[in-house]
Amino acid sequence: MFAPGKDTLVIYHMMFPRWSKDPRAGVSGGKTAELPLVDQPCPSCTSVVDGLDGPAPHLSDRINLVVVAKTDPARLGTYARGRGWRNVRFLSSRNNTFNRDYHAETPEGEQLPVLNVYSRDEDGIHHRWASELTFVRGDSSPPRPGLADLGHSRPDSGRTRRNSCLSLAPVRIAQQQCRDSNLAAASPKPLVVFRHRDHCV
């Protein structure tokens, strides 16, 4: 998930499935509209990803940007294609504790819209920052123009605080080979997918 020369990874956790008590209308058409309402994506998260998809090619000049959702990878891919999202990399975190470990899932299994930032250096991969968007009043969307500044290597920063570390083992898979990965690729292109091993705080 780290491209050559880019040592910052920004992950937006999309609520798909949505909050179970969300009273808003579901998707208006397509395959995703056939799902039960509680299994459909959050409308607000959809709006956030709408806003990320456009600048994603420009952000990718400096950072690695990924959208993660708990839903089945095939459902995620179908919804992304239906929305016309072509620039954001999508991954499924189905059947693992990745979302819960990194503040994007409640103990009851409800999904939360969290932005997580990781960095890579000579010591490994580190979890640097997390934002809980649910409890912030006002605009809950991530700061799209500032996403590139969330990295750990700004010129004016002599050092950064290490909050936690993340040990990852890369596994290269294609879309249809997502049987035993903790982050299964929902993109039509082959991706480097990581099995979540452990973390320390």
pLDDT (tens digit per residue) in 102-157: 889 999 999 999 999 999 988 899 988 887 555 554 444 444 445 555 555 443 44
pLDDT of residue 78: 96
Task: Give the model's pLDDT for residue 164.
Answer: 33
Separation in Å, CA 16 to CA 74, 148, 194, 195: 12, 25, 20, 21
Q: Which long-range contacts (CB under 8 A, 24 or more apart) does 30-34 make?
A: 30/78, 30/79, 30/82, 31/75, 31/78, 31/79, 31/82, 32/75, 32/78, 32/79, 32/82
pLDDT value of position 130: 83
pLDDT at 139: 45
3-state SS, residue 77: helix
The domain ranges of the chain are 8-200
Other CB atoms within 10 Å distance of the CB of residue 96: 16
**pTM of the complete model:** 0.71
Q: Which residue has the tokens 């709006």?
A: 47
The answer to whether 42 and 70 have CB atoms below 8 angstroms apart is: no
10-residue stretch averages of pLDDT, the chain, 201 residues long: 90 96 95 97 95 92 94 96 95 92 92 92 88 54 50 43 33 27 38 35 27
Q: Which fold has domain 8-200?
A: Glutaredoxin (3.40.30)
